[in-house]
Chain A
Amino acid sequence: MQPSPIKSRPLYGTLAPVAHAMRHIAIAEGEGASAVIEAFGDHEALSRTTILFSPAPYRTDRTQETFLASLSCEALSVASSAEDLLGELVTLLSTATMGTRLYVSGSEDFIGRVTSEALHQGIDADAIQTEHRGAPTRRVQCVHCKGFTDGVSASPATCAHCGIHLLVRDHYSRRLGAFMGVSIDAEAPGDIPPAEAFGA
């Protein structure tokens, strides 16, 4: 895997159940389901694994859900939105004990939000594994109004809150689970270059 040229951006890997963990919590959105299926498939860890899943927004295809349901894991919960999924995760983590490992897969903005919330619940950063699946969209925080814009696929982007045109800086905060967005035309108002899509 290519090391990230952005030093503050997390490196994403490939999910692999930790042999000695007492309990596994896998949380996935959309395409992330396939990463969970590949990692846990018929693994003996499944009996100690809780899977939380939310289909990608606006998706009607239920294949992944059906596939996840066929796994003999300890528990499977399907939520209708990432918000509900995060709520369930918080409940689980609030009573979880040391020896619990967390596995997160989906888009980069989903991974960012889940990781940020999990750290907030007290889990150690090295007890979390991540795998990136799906579109290379980013969650961006506007440094001016502090609002978050999800699903950003190119830079510059428009802040969904204050409307400023944002250069998405190569700078990522794990605490916020977001990249930094800064006004792109502050020195020359109206001078906005064409948007360039992010690579993976």
Chain B
Amino acid sequence: MSGGVQFPVRVIETEAISPTVKRLRLAPRDGQALPAYSAGSHTVLTIDGGSRLIRNAYSLLGSTLAGGAAYEVAVQRSPQSRGGSAFIHDHLTVGADLSLSAPINLFALNRTARRHILVAGGIGITPIAAMAAELDALALPFELHYAMRDTASGAFAAELAARHGDNLHLYVSERQERLSVRDILARQPLGTHLYVCGPERMIEGVMTDARMAGWPESALHAERFLAPEGGEPFALRLARSGISTVVGEHETLLEAIEAAGVDAPYLCRGGACGQCETRVLAADGHLLHADHYLTDGQKSRGETIMTCVSRLRGRELVLDL
């Protein structure tokens, strides 16, 4: 319940849109229409992975903005996967049952902007392409810049080209095409906003270029979604529930809490929304804060931790749960 409203769904279609990206089409099992959503929204999929429950967040595609009969997501097989994306690629086929959360948007378009510059790298195209679809439908001015390693890995490139024509600019690094943010940012009229989603290094690069060009912070938007990484195992005690357990190497703190049967709060499972902030009662070791929510000061004080992406390097963590 802590993740909010859940919709039971079934996989009704899958498609390999690149060697590493799989598109899933998910339809409600109970006949209830799925709600419409805004571009940039994600959903948390809950999948029975046999020995464990997999809960991963994925951006909702622009193809199903109106909701209704189905939602679509695109899942990249992650090399550092703790098993979630690999399980989806290897085992989740047509007919499989799972559930998804109501859409949550932490990467929304600023509707007061007069013009929108969308920049995507790799699988970061999923929320960015949804933004392009929404802006297109609203007849608002935008340009879409999409960088990829090679044409085979560029999911959706052909589809986007057909749909957005001259508004789309592709950069294929295999063909020595480089996305030059400085050129894109020059001569943009007042009221232009910039959105970027892609590898962390790309986001940092784009943001730095924009700041160097004098763009104000409020005009800059990035999807700071983190795939939680594993780490060394450590002991976990939940003081209020009186439960002791272990957070495994390939498990997040939040997953260990859920596996212990405790209903802990969460929304994005990506270190962005702040919903899973939990009070730390004691930490025998060093807190590894990986979220984008707490300030540096809060992180160093260590009074709270975001259970979805952060963990402990040390012996035991005691939480107020």
Chains A and B touch each other in the complex, with CB atoms below 8 Å apart: yes
- Knowing A98-B185, A124-B219, the reply to whether A21 touches B214 (Cβ < 8 A) is yes
- Stretch from B146-154, B187-195, B257-265 that touches the partner: B187-195
Looking at chain A's contact residues, is the secondary structure mostly helix, strand, loop, or mixed? loop
- Whether, in the assembled complex, A20 has its beta carbon less than 8 Å from a beta carbon of chain B, the answer is yes
Bits for B55-76, please: 1 = Cβ < 8 Å to A, else 0: 0000000000000000000000
Q: How far is the CA of A121 from the CA of B189 in the complex (A)?
A: 11
Interface string of B109-120 (1 = CB under 8 A from A): 000001000000
Give Cα A144 to B217, complex, Å: 38
A97 near B211 with CB under 8 A, answer no
Whether B218 contacts A123 by the Cβ 8 Å rule is: no
Known: A98-B185, A98-B219. A121 touches B190 (CB 8 A): yes
User: CB-CB < 8 A to B187: which residues of A?
Assistant: 97
Question: Chain B residues with Cβ under 8 A from A20's Cβ?
Answer: 211-214
* A105 interface residue per 8 A CB criterion: no
Q: Does A101 contact B (CB under 8 A)?
A: yes
Closest residue on chain B to residue A22 by CB atoms = B214
In angstroms, Cα B190 to Cα A121, docked, is 8
Q: Which residues of B contact A124 (CB under 8 A)?
A: 190-191, 216, 218-219
Query: Do B211 and A98 touch across chains, with their CB atoms under 8 A apart?
Result: no
Instruction: Please state if B114 and A122 are interface contacts (CB–CB under 8 Å).
Output: yes
Q: Within the assembled complex, what's the spacing in Å between the Cα atoms of A8 and B7?
A: 41
Given A122-B114, A122-B189, A122-B190: A98 and B217 interface contact (C-beta under 8 Å): no
The CA-CA distance from A98 to B192 in the complex, in Å, is 7
Scan B211-231; emit 1 where CB is below 8 A from any A CB, else 0: 111111111000000000000
Across the interface, do B218 and A125 meet the contact criterion of CB distance under 8 Å? Answer: yes
On chain A, the number of residues with a Cβ less than 8 Å from chain B's Cβ atoms is: 19
Q: Indicate if the CB atoms of B213 and A98 lie closer than 8 Å.
A: yes
Nearest B residue (CB) for A102: B190
What are the residues of chain A within 8 A of B189 when measuring CB–CB?
96-98, 122
Tell me the minimal C-beta distance from B195 to chain A in angstroms. Answer: 14
Can you name the residue of chain A whose Cβ is closest to the Cβ of B190? A122
What count of chain B residues pass the 8 Å CB interface test?
18
**Do B217 and A101 touch across chains, with their CB atoms under 8 A apart?**
no
Between A and B, how many residue pairs show CB distances below 8 Å?
Answer: 50
**Do B214 and A18 touch across chains, with their CB atoms under 8 A apart?**
yes
Cβ contacts under 8 Å, A126 to chain B: 216-218
Chain A residues lying within 8 Å of B217, measured Cβ to Cβ, are 126
B218 lies within 8 A of A97 (CB) = no
Contacting A97 at CB < 8 Å: which of B188, B212, B216? B188
Query: Quick check: is A127 within 8 A (CB to CB) of the other chain?
Result: yes
A97 to B115 CA separation, bound complex (whole angstroms): 12
B190 touches A123 (CB 8 A): yes
CB pair B214–A98 under 8 Å, yes or no, is yes
Which of B188, B190, B218, B219 is in CB contact (< 8 Å) with A93?
B190
Does A100 count as interface, using CB distance less than 8 angstroms?
yes
Contact across chains for B190 and A100 when beta carbons are under 8 A apart = yes
Q: Which residues of chain A come closer than 8 Å to B114, judged between CB atoms?
A: 122
Closest residue of chain B to A93 (Cβ to Cβ) is B190
Q: Is A99 an interface residue (CB 8 A)?
A: yes
0/1 per residue, A80-108, Cβ < 8 Å to B?
00000000000001001111110000000
* A99-B213 contact in complex given A121-B190, A123-B190, C-beta closer than 8 Å: yes
Tell me whether A99 and B215 are in contact (CB under 8 A).
Answer: yes
Q: CA–CA, A106 to B310, complex, Å? A: 48
- Which residue of chain B lies nearest to A125 when distances are taken between CB atoms in the complex? B218
Minimum CB distance partner of B187 in chain A = A97
A99 to B135, CA, bound (A): 24
**Chain B stretch 119-166: residues in CB contact (< 8 A) with chain A:** none
Q: A100, B214: Cβ atoms under 8 Å? A: yes
Residue of A nearest to B213 (CB): A99
Q: Are B214 and A122 in contact (CB under 8 A)?
A: no
With A122-B114, A124-B219 known to touch, is A101 a contact of B190 (CB < 8 Å)?
Answer: no
Closest to B191 in A: A122
Do A98 and B212 touch (CB < 8 A)? Answer: no
- Closest Cβ–Cβ distance, residue B194 to chain A (whole Å): 8
Hey, what's the 0/1 contact readout for B157-201 against A, CB within 8 Å counting as 1?
A: 000000000000000000000000000011111111000000000
Interchain residue pairs with CB less than 8 A apart (10): A20-B211, A20-B212, A22-B213, A97-B189, A98-B189, A123-B191, A124-B190, A124-B218, A124-B219, A126-B216
6 more A-B residue pairs beyond the given contacts A20-B212, A96-B189, A97-B188, with a C-beta to C-beta distance below 8 A: A18-B214, A97-B190, A98-B190, A99-B185, A124-B190, A124-B218
Interface residues of A (CB under 8 A from B): 18, 20-23, 93, 96-101, 121-127
